[in-house]
Amino acid sequence: MRRSISTRTDTTTSSNTNPLPTHCIPFPLISMSATLPLPELETLALQAAPLRVLAWPIDPRNPYTALLYEQMEPRAFVDEFSPFMLMHRYDVWHVHWPESLLNIRNPALAAFKLSTFLAMIDLVRLRGGRIVWTVHNLRAHDALHPRLEAGFWPRFIARVDGLISLSATGLRMVWERFPGLRPLPAAIIPHGHYRDLYPCCAIDAKAELGIPADARVILFFGGLRAYKNVHALVRAFRNVRDANAFLLIAGSPADAALGESLAKQATGDHRVRLALQFIERDRVESFFAAADLVVLPYRHILNSGSALLALSFNRPVLVPDLGSMGDLKADFGADWVNTFASDLDASELERALDWASCPRASICPMPERYEWNSIRSETLKLYKRVIATQHR
């Protein structure tokens, strides 16, 4: 079954539409061929033709991609990837998080999935499609298969036709690591916000979570994985002297051992509260409403959807001075984004709590380019630039 991602206000979807192939020129343009130079005619044809996009992956637990692809322009048709969709021709296959295949623990299965993925890319490109990569990460977080990873990246990069970076720093970093991408069409398009996505919390959030009303709450929110360094956050927090400070950790551990070790580490300090499960959408706002400060203690980071989630809920955030976090601070200002440069310790957390309590606007200003309409528009522009560029 073909599943369309687009939620345009009209009822036409890619599942019941048979648009003209992109090489066809609509009749009105043919009538102008005597007066327009060929390059201009080709440009007009490209603008008029339907745009067929294959999107991978669409993660129901992460709304980023769904927000990106909904309400695109009427002649852009976006389908969620499945192998069966490769029976159709697409102008663009937009790839997110290809490194996720390297997080498969079984090495034989990971190798098979990677080879299959590259073969499917070849099929799309053989039919004239282009590969656009949004660079969320520069490496697999878990580093499970170093040899597989070393072989994968050159093969994947050779097949990319255009790229999107979420920040200027990220683009510089991807060019440094993969110089072969420098000549390709590229765009800096930030991660969008999550405002208006989550149901409002109409109750006392701290009371719901069993936290005293006058507590100063540090929140870590998101999936728990080793590279996110949550153990270091618990260790640092246990040395915080403020008896009124609480640490709330909310998210699903990547494996049972990680959850068990966190629970053991938190034992003996009643101020550390754990919600070690996936937080359903209707409960997300409760955790942020209870928080005074969001802390993301990652060991390595390029971009962070969790930081955008915190800012969407009007919560100041403390992040490491790594990757694009400096760009985030420049965009949102020092009232909303604070960075630390060394190992996280109790004094850093105490300073951050004091910073978070300083007077600031009740609503975090959202720069225009973080709005989804702007992001969709810039993404479509990049698609069209890639399509208009000679296939490498």
Could you tell me if 169 and 145 are in contact, meaning their C-beta atoms sit under 8 angstroms apart? Answer: no
pTM for the predicted model, two decimal places: 0.86
Write out the two tokens for 194: 């999550």
CATH 3.40.50.2000 residue ranges for the chain: 205-366
Could you tell me if 221 and 250 are in contact, meaning their C-beta atoms sit under 8 angstroms apart? Answer: yes
Q: Is 182 exposed, middle or buried (0-12, 13-18, 19+ CB in 10 A)?
A: exposed
CATH 3.40.50.300, applies to 205-366:
no
The SS3 assignment for 274 reads strand
**Assigned CATH topology for domain 27-192+371-388:** Rossmann fold (3.40.50)
Q: What is the pLDDT along the chain (392 residues), one digit of tens a residue?
A: 344 554 433 333 333 333 333 333 333 333 334 455 655 555 555 556 789 999 999 877 789 999 999 888 888 999 999 999 999 999 999 999 999 999 999 999 999 999 999 999 999 999 999 999 999 999 999 999 999 999 999 999 999 999 999 999 999 999 999 999 999 999 999 999 999 898 777 678 999 999 999 999 999 999 999 999 999 999 999 999 999 999 999 999 999 999 999 999 999 999 999 999 999 998 999 999 999 999 999 999 999 999 999 999 999 999 999 999 999 999 999 999 999 998 899 999 999 999 999 999 999 999 999 999 999 999 999 999 999 998 77
- The predicted pLDDT at position 25 comes to 32
Torsion of CA 311, 313, 317, 320, to 10 degrees: -60
- The predicted pLDDT at position 36 comes to 53
Torsion of CA 207, 313, 344, 256, to 10 degrees: 70
pLDDT tens-digit series, residues 75-131: 899 999 999 999 999 999 999 999 999 999 999 999 999 999 999 999 999 999 999
Q: Which helix (H) or strand (E) holds 177?
A: helix 168-177
